[in-house]
């Protein structure tokens, strides 16, 4: 069974992209199931899973979902199982009231905001693990993280059986993990990748950017700057990853004190590390600046001839 193509539905829907007068805010799982079934009686449903603290990047997912589907549901849940003990679960920004208002203004039909006790009552003995894709990049630095992501997204897909689910390319490894899970477990949902949304100076939008001081915020721009510089090098014919990484590392370290967890080129589908960029690939990095762990990536194509 394949999910219907939301984008193929009534072309006139674009005329109805006005502001929704109301948004249902639901906290209980059974009530959410009923509300979703009611919405799907009257058209297709797009799902935007989030951890809240919404910004323009999240809203771009909502806008993409509204263009392609008749109704949009947003989930707001800071998932404890994807945080390691030393990570920022306790301090992760939670702004539910403001998030709901943003969703209302964006035309969202339903916000599902469960508690941890709703999602994990304490008796669960099942997790979802996606092997291979989680071996590299963020995997070794965040043990158990992708198990938590895959498990909670699988639960959300069951609670809110949408026609399409929208994820940002900034979290590219997460996107690939979810795509693999959907294929392997035969979820009848279409996974839609949406471009990374950036600040005017190039920094990828993230809820965690709020942790940065002003000097750290200025320093963080070095991440996107070095990625796009490397992208231009690939376009001009550079293919050796070690050379690219050496220059990227030097540029990031020159911008200020930081901890570079990784800078890698990987196959765009398998996330296999590359020594030579000779295929569709992603340049990916993770860097800690102050209290903030920042990730970013850009697409590069090693199959395109240089100018």
Q: What is the DSSP secondary structure assignment for residue 137, as one 8-state letter? A: T
Residue 12's domain comprises 6-194
**How far is the C-alpha of 221 from the C-alpha of 104, rounded, in Å?**
32
Confidence check: pLDDT of 17 > 90: no
Confidence check: pLDDT of 153 > 50: yes
Q: Of the residues 194, 228, 246, which one is the last residue of a structural domain? A: 194
Q: Of the residues 194, 217, 238, which one is the last residue of a structural domain? A: 194
**Residue 92 shares a structural domain with residue 230:** no
**Residue 140 shares a structural domain with residue 79:** yes
Residues identified as active-site? 58
Q: What predicted TM-score, i.e. pTM, was given to this entire model?
A: 0.92
CATH number at residue 92: 3.40.50.620
For the residues 106-132, what does the mean pLDDT come to? 96
Give me the residue label for tokens 């009611």. 38
Between strands 24-26 and 292-301, the pairing is unpaired
**Residue 23 shares a structural domain with residue 71:** yes
Task: Pick the range with the lowest mean pLDDT from 10-14, 34-38, 107-111, 292-296.
Answer: 10-14
**Residue 232 shares a structural domain with residue 140:** no
**Residue 94 shares a structural domain with residue 144:** yes
User: pLDDT tier at 6 (50, 70, 90 boundaries)?
Assistant: low
**Residue 248 shares a structural domain with residue 126:** no
User: pLDDT tier at 8 (50, 70, 90 boundaries)?
Assistant: very low
**Residue 163 shares a structural domain with residue 67:** yes
**Residue 114 shares a structural domain with residue 50:** yes
**Residue 274 shares a structural domain with residue 189:** no
Sign of the C-alpha dihedral, residues 267, 230, 202, 148?
A: positive
- Domain assignment present for residue 307? The answer is no
- Domain assignment present for residue 42? The answer is yes
**Residue 104 shares a structural domain with residue 246:** no
| pLDDT for position 21 | 56
CATH number at residue 246: 3.30.1300.10
Q: How many domains does the chain have?
A: 2
| pLDDT for position 113 | 98
Q: Count CA atoms within 13 Å of residue 261 on its CB side.
A: 18
For the residues 83-96, what does the mean pLDDT come to? 90
pLDDT tens figures, 258-268 = 999 999 999 99
Q: Of the residues 151, 172, 194, which one is the last residue of a structural domain? A: 194
- Domain assignment present for residue 200? The answer is no
**Residue 189 shares a structural domain with residue 231:** no
- Domain assignment present for residue 172? The answer is yes
Mean pLDDT of the chain: 93
**Residue 96 shares a structural domain with residue 217:** no
Burial class from Cβ neighbours inside 10 Å (0-12, 13-18, 19+) for residue 43 reads: middle
């Amino acid at each position: 069974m394949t999910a219907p193509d939301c984008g193929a539905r009534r072309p006139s829907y674009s005329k109805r992209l006005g502001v929704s007068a109301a948004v249902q805010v639901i906290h209980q799982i059974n009530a959410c199931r009923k509300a979703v079934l009611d919405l799907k009686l009257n058209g297709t449903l797009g799902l935007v899973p989030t951890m809240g603290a919404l910004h323009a990047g999240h809203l771009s997912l909502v806008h993409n979902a509204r263009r392609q589907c008749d109704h949009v549901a947003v989930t707001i849940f800071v998932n404890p199982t994807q945080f390691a003990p030393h990570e920022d679960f306790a301090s992760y920004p939670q702004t539910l009231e403001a998030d709901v208002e943003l969703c209302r203004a964006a035309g969202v039909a339903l916000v599902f905001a469960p508690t941890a006790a709703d999602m994990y009552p304490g008796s669960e003995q099942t997790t979802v693990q996606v092997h291979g894709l989680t071996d590299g990049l963020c995997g070794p630095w965040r043990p158990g993280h992708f198990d938590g992501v895959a498990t909670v997204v699988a639960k959300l897909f069951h609670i809110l059986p949408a026609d399409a689910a929208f994820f940002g390319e900034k979290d590219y490894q997460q996107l690939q993990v979810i795509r693999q899970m959907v294929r392997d477990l035969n979820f009848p949902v279409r996974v839609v990748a949406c471009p990374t949304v950036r600040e005017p100076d190039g920094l990828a939008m993230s809820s965690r950017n709020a942790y940065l001081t002003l000097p750290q915020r200025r320093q963080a721009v070095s991440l996107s700057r070095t990625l796009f510089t490397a992208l231009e090098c690939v376009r001009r014919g550079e293919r050796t990853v070690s050379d690219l990484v050496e220059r990227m590392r030097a540029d990031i370290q020159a911008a200020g004190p930081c901890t570079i967890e990784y800078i890698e080129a990987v196959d765009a589908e398998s996330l296999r590390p590359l020594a030579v960029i000779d295929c569709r690939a992603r340049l990916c990095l993770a860097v800690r600046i102050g209290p903030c762990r920042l990730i970013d990536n850009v697409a590069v194509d090693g199959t395109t001839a240089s100018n």
